[in-house]
């Protein structure tokens, strides 16, 4: 056998081994693909609580039973009762939100505020999951880190946040109104405050705003009383952003000043403040500085 024949023989043997190896690998690949597909199907069919309405409900019912056993002194329309009401009367994936933790190791408290002047009112921050996406987890919409969720919230689910008012009557919740909060994450706190200019109470919902290096407040003014839908007005403050409450046209609706800054690498400088007031005709915030400038809230 000459050298050329020997090399040809070696080449043929190598090719045969390649074919054998190829046909041996195919079944393994098919098996891996099948296993991967089964795992994904199992995950979407109910193995993950955030994707399974029935499992989510089971977990929440169990947690409520534990809380009932631990909470011996119950009150009418307390937090446990409110959680039960939400579970029984809202769509799956709806949760009572919690305040941001004051300290690293402190336990978060439910975002509920009771007001007992003129009745027994309960204000609650409630988050609903977007239909068709995974159910939200409230920890992903609370605190500074979650304020960036507005950039892309799809992987963690999209939360629609609402301020909801209830009145407690005969140990039952009567829903008075529901007001949308136009943000998806960064919740921090809720406080009852008073607008001194018109002696009107309002609820301030404070949200961290990492994008502007500051915070946003969504303020709900009870211009027609607590039982009626409140009026929303936003204020905020960041490194080069600021909007503060004001009384521009002396009516019952709150107004604000919007501040303009020069923001460079070297410095940030305030250059102007623009008054906006509520137009009852347009149902918008407008300014006399320019007809083209308007705000929804």
pLDDT interval class at 72 (50, 70, 90): confident
In a domain, 285, yes or no: no
In a domain, 288, yes or no: no
- Which comes out higher in pLDDT, residue 281 or 26? 281
DSSP string of 122-147, one letter each residue: EEEEEEEEPTTSPPP-GGGGBSSGGG
Average pLDDT, the chain: 86
* Enclosing domain of residue 164: 53-185
How many Cβ atoms are within 10 Å of 215's Cβ, its own excluded?
19
pLDDT at 50: 53
In a domain, 192, yes or no: no
In a domain, 74, yes or no: yes
> Total structural domains in the chain?
1
The pLDDT tens digits for 185-215 are 999 999 999 999 999 999 999 999 999 999 9
Alpha helices in 178-253 (DSSP H): none
In a domain, 201, yes or no: no
User: 62: burial class by Cβ within 10 Å (0-12, 13-18, 19+)?
Assistant: exposed
Across the range 171-188, mean pLDDT stands at 97
How many Cβ atoms are within 10 Å of 297's Cβ, its own excluded?
13
Question: Could you tell me how many residues make up the chain?
Answer: 297
The pLDDT tens digits for 134-151 are 899 999 999 998 998 867
The pLDDT tens digits for 73-124 are 899 999 999 999 999 999 999 999 999 986 666 788 999 999 999 999 999 9
The pLDDT tens digits for 245-259 are 999 999 999 999 999
In a domain, 117, yes or no: yes
In a domain, 229, yes or no: no
Per the confidence metrics, is the pTM higher than 0.75? yes
In a domain, 177, yes or no: yes
The Cα 83–Cα 112 span in angstroms is: 11
pLDDT at 7: 42
Alpha helices in 174-267 (DSSP H): none
CB 239 within 8 A of CB 259: no
């Amino acid at each position: 056998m000459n050298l050329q024949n020997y090399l040809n023989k070696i080449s043929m043997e190598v090719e045969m081994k390649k074919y054998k190896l190829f046909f041996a690998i195919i079944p393994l690949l098919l098996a891996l693909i099948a296993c991967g597909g089964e795992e994904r199907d199992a995950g979407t069919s109910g193995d993950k609580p955030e994707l399974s309405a029935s499992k989510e409900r089971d977990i929440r019912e169990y947690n409520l039973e534990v809380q009932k056993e631990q909470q011996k002194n119950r009150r009418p329309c307390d937090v446990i009762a409110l959680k039960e009401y939400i579970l029984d009367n809202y769509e799956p994936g709806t949760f009572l939100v919690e305040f941001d933790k004051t300290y690293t190791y402190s336990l978060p408290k439910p975002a509920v505020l009771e007001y007992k002047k003129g009745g027994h009112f309960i204000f609650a921050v409630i988050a609903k999951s977007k239909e068709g996406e995974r159910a939200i987890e409230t920890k992903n919409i609370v605190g500074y880190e979650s304020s960036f969720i507005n950039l892309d919230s799809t992987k963690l689910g999209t939360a629609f946040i609402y301020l909801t008012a209830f009145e407690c009557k005969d140990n039952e919740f009567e829903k008075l109104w529901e007001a949308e909060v136009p943000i998806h994450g960064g919740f921090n706190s809720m406080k009852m405050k008073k607008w001194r200019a018109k002696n009107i109470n309002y609820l301030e919902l404070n949200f961290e705003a990492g994008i502007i290096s500051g915070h946003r407040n969504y303020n709900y003014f009870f211009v027609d009383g607590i039982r009626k839908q409140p009026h929303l007005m936003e204020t905020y403050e960041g490194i080069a952003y600021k909007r503060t409450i004001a009384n521009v046209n002396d009516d019952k609706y709150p107004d604000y000043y919007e501040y303009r800054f020069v923001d460079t690498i070297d410095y940030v400088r305030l250059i102007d403040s623009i008054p906006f007031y509520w137009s009852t005709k347009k149902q918008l915030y407008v300014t006399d500085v320019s007809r083209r400038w308007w705000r929804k809230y």
